[in-house]
């Protein structure tokens, strides 16, 4: 699929078929994530790929009971790795770059999943401590985004956007 078609096609999908995602597609998504840019190429993020039903249900609960998370065949959880970025960039790395690294990584996963014919939803509403505890992640990692991925069971409704004039200042 042409890149701009992917952008046009990507809309949040919150209902998924039970059909599992092929391993080759999962690996393609993981490789796309790995190719993302990062500050100083430190790749200051960690990613959990959650397939276990019980774990997905727990994640849903820590994400304000957004139940479509448990229904998605695959749930990615992106964590920033502040210490990894701090080694080179100190406070700026720990507070800023690692968050950006993890966010870009999630955006790459989202767009590559769409390019593979899958639906996704970015989830930012979650309780950090609970999410970390349910995945037993080291204390220093910071959860940045949950990404649900699966074959869509709905045709998502297009959402409006601000005008180019409102968003951009050309000087």
Ligand X SMILES: Cc1cc2nc3c(=O)[nH]c(=O)nc-3n(C[C@H](O)[C@H](O)[C@H](O)COP(=O)(O)O)c2cc1C
125 or 139, CB closer to ligand X? 125
CB of residue 9 to ligand X, shortest distance in Å: 10
125 or 164, CB closer to ligand X? 125
CB of residue 103 to ligand X, shortest distance in Å: 8
Site string for ligand X, 10-39 (x = CB under 6 A): -xx-x-------------------------
Regarding 66 and contact with ligand X (CB under 6 A), the answer is yes
Whole-angstrom Cα distance, residue 60 to residue 39? Answer: 31
Measured between alpha carbons, how far is residue 75 from residues 87, 146, 159 in Å?
A: 30, 7, 23
Contact between residue 87 and residue 140 where contact means Cβ atoms under 8 Å apart: no
Whole-angstrom Cα distance, residue 85 to residue 77? Answer: 19
Whole-angstrom Cα distance, residue 150 to residue 157? Answer: 17
27 or 155, CB closer to ligand X? 155
Residues near ligand X (CB under 6 A) are: 11-12, 14, 66, 121-125, 156, 159
């Amino acid at each position: 699929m042409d890149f701009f078609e992917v952008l046009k096609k990507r809309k949040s999908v919150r209902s998924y078929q039970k059909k599992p995602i092929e391993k080759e597609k999962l690996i393609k998504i993981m490789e796309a994530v790995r190719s993302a840019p990062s500050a100083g190429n430190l790749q200051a993020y960690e990613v959990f790929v959650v397939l276990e039903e019980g774990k997905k249900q727990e994640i849903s609960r820590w994400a304000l009971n957004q139940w479509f998370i448990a229904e998605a065949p695959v749930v990615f959880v992106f964590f920033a790795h502040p210490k990894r970025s701090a080694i080179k960039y100190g406070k700026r790395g720990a507070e800023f770059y690692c968050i950006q690294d993890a966010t870009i990584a999630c955006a790459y996963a989202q767009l590559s999943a769409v390019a593979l014919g899958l639906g996704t939803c970015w989830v930012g509403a979650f309780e950090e401590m609970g999410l970390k505890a349910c995945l037993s992640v080291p204390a220093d990692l910071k959860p940045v985004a949950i990404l649900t991925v699966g074959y869509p069971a709905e045709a998502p409704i297009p959402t409006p956007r601000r005008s180019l004039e409102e968003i951009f200042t050309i000087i």
